[in-house]
Amino acid sequence: MTLPLRPSYRLLVLLFAAAALLPAQTAVPLAGSVRIVSGTQSADVRTATLGVRRFVALPDVAAMLSLRYAENATLRKAELRLDSAILKFTADNPFVMQMNPATRRYKVYQLSHPVLVLDGVTYASSAELIALLNTLSAARLVIEDRPAPPPSVEPAVTGVEVEEKKNGTLVRIRLSAPVPDPSRVQSGDWIYVTLPAATGDTLALDSSFTAGPVRRVKPVMTETALQLSINLRGRIAASELVQDQTSDDLLLTLVPPAPEEKRPVNADSVRRVQAAERSRLETARQIKAQKNKWKLDVVVIDPGHGGHDPGALGVIGTREKDVTLGVALKLGSLIHKYMPGVKTVYTRSTDRFVELFKRGQIANEAGGKLFISIHCNSTERKPSSAAGFEIYLLRPGKTEDAIRIAEKENEVVKLEKDYEDRYQKLNEENFIILTMAQSAYVKQSERFAELLEETMSAGMEGQRQPVRQAGFYVLVGASMPNVLVETGYLSNPKEEKFLRSPSGQQKIAEAILKALQRFKVEYEENID
């Protein structure tokens, strides 16, 4: 007879690796038995039927032929030992290895279907196993066919119908035969009906509905069941799956939610609700307007001195007014580039003289939210070793140096017309009263000064100085957070060279910008 097996002698590892990639059998085989005859011997052997293919239990065949048989449940392997060969079987694998005990050499046979393991028993394709055993032994095994039992009828879904009733919706699932143990699961706007062992034309059953609570029926076919995924258009109160009493059909009932009780509309209630909504919107508008009012969107930059007031003079003649204007213009350009939502206002943008009182007026009229006055320091004796930047807040001076610097910067008022009448009331007592009027901005001024001290220390060379306080007239009129920064000493030759250079002025401007960016974030967070 012709052996319906295909031997292979090469690439054993590749064959078994490929077999490992084959999907495991997921269909449920039908159990049974068959009689195998060998000469005068015969025995009933357990079988498993999968579709049209029949498998026989290896331990039963081994017992009938008095062959040694071994199994490894962990590795899911089995062995049949004949005198001339050892046959090795692996679950879910179609390849059978035949080893010659004398030569230890292997042959490989490929079955047409993988080996099965059911309830711990190993099964192989009956016809192919019988043919292989007849080839390797003197036995002549024959399968005695018995009359086949009547074929079982697989239930088929022939259609899905949706019918609207007075008290809800009825979904009829038409079936050709009863379905064992149907189930229903509802999740959100989907109901999943699972029909074990059922089949159906998934293309024909896929349906959409333009009205009613059912939007779509989407069938999904698996190896063991047909699932109907029913998408709902609206909310339902309940659902139930029942068997039709007059047919094999299943009925899915959908119960709508109870209608909400409509209450009569009261005109006074409507007016009150409308008035409350208008009030809420107006309050929200006012809050938004107040927040926008206090956003840090205008920065006033005050370059000290100017025009016929040169300010301090350096060792080699550098004028304070030129340095402060250079730093101010560079700072404004950086703000325009990196803080586009912030408007820059200069108390002067050219070499001109601006009175101290007008500088505060310019800041207030522009709606400034922060006032930065830029200056350079100097000593009476030149050259000198005094060095470093200094940052001042508006308060009466506490140290002799702070008082001296404030007096020097305030002397510029003598260049103004009618300065005696304008500033005569700024004695120490009145000055304290004026600074108390600015107490609302003290906290913000102190915080910006702290940030500025950090960024200038990090970005510039020179001696680091603590934040100081002194009575600068230019800060009196600015009704907003304000600081005065002495960028360095023109009386120090090294610092004079740095202050007069474009690169030095750029470094100062960048340090102020970094402090301004951090201050804006903190300032506006406090508003929110």
Q: Reply yes or no: is the peptide bond before residue 264 cis, omega within 30 of 0.
A: no
3-state DSSP call for residue 342?
A: coil
Distance separating alpha carbons of residues 8 and 14, to the nearest angstrom: 12
Q: Average of pLDDT values for 118-130?
A: 87
3-state DSSP call for residue 433?
A: helix
pLDDT reported for residue 402: 42
Helices and strands of the chain, counted as H and E runs: 14, 28
Q: Average of pLDDT values for 434-456?
A: 77
Amino acid (one-letter) located at 449? A
Asked if pLDDT for residue 63 goes beyond 70, the answer is yes
Asked if pLDDT for residue 503 goes beyond 90, the answer is yes
Q: Average of pLDDT values for 273-287?
A: 78
Q: Average of pLDDT values for 396-408?
A: 45
Report residue 292's pLDDT band, with 50, 70 and 90 as the boundaries. low
Token output for 379: 């000593």
Q: Write down all domains in the chain, each with its CATH number in brackets.
A: 6-144 (3.30.457.10), 156-255 (2.60.40.3470), 293-527 (3.40.630.40)
Report residue 428's pLDDT band, with 50, 70 and 90 as the boundaries. very low
pLDDT above 90: percentage of residues in the chain: 36
Cβ distance 27 to 50 under 8 Å? yes
More confident residue, 202 or 144: 202
* Vertex 490 angle, CA 454 and 500, to 5°: 80
Cβ distance 25 to 114 under 8 Å? yes
> 134-138, 389-393, 450-454: which range is least confident on average?
134-138
Report residue 398's pLDDT band, with 50, 70 and 90 as the boundaries. very low
pLDDT reported for residue 477: 65
Q: Average of pLDDT values for 393-407?
A: 49
Q: Reply yes or no: is the peptide bond before residue 502 cis, omega within 30 of 0.
A: no
Asked if pLDDT for residue 385 goes beyond 80, the answer is yes
pLDDT reported for residue 372: 94
Quote the strand ranges of 244-366, DSSP E. 250-255, 298-303, 343-346
Asked if pLDDT for residue 121 goes beyond 50, the answer is yes
Distance separating alpha carbons of residues 345 and 336, to the nearest angstrom: 11
DSSP bridge partners of 185:
192
Mean pLDDT, rounded, of the chain: 80
Asked if pLDDT for residue 407 goes beyond 70, the answer is no
More confident residue, 180 or 436: 180
More confident residue, 376 or 467: 376
Cβ distance 326 to 375 under 8 Å? no
Name the strand (E) or helix (H) holding 380.
none
Each residue's pLDDT tens digit, 333-377: 999 999 999 999 999 999 999 887 788 889 889 999 999 999 999
Nearest to 228 by CA among 168, 189, 184: 184
* DSSP for 178-226, written as a single string: --SS-EEEEETTEEEEEEET-EE-HHHH-EE-SSSSEEEEEEEE-SSEE
pLDDT reported for residue 513: 97
| β-sheet with 6-8: strand ranges across | 6-8, 106-110, 95-99, 86-90, 77-81, 68-72
DSSP bridge partners of 77:
72, 90
Token output for 488: 């360095």
Asked if pLDDT for residue 148 goes beyond 90, the answer is no
* DSSP for 357-377, written as a single string: HHHHHHHHHTT-SEEEEEEEE
Cβ distance 111 to 130 under 8 Å? no
Q: pTM here?
A: 0.44
* Vertex 394 angle, CA 441 and 433, to 5°: 80
Strand bridging mode 41-50 / 30-38: antiparallel
| β-sheet with 370-377: strand ranges across | 343-346, 298-303, 370-377, 482-489, 390-394, 468-470
Token output for 46: 């357990």
Asked if pLDDT for residue 47 goes beyond 70, the answer is yes
Each residue's pLDDT tens digit, 235-278: 888 889 898 888 899 999 998 887 766 666 677 777 888 888 88
Only one residue has tokens 């029913």, namely 230
More confident residue, 516 or 470: 516
Amino acid (one-letter) located at 277? E
pLDDT reported for residue 7: 43
Cα distances from 81 to residues 69, 96, 315, 378, in angstroms, run 6, 13, 110, 108
Q: Average of pLDDT values for 390-400?
A: 63
Amino acid (one-letter) located at 299? V
Asked if pLDDT for residue 287 goes beyond 60, the answer is yes
Q: Average of pLDDT values for 33-42?
A: 77
pLDDT reported for residue 317: 95
Nearest to 77 by CA among 91, 58, 93: 91
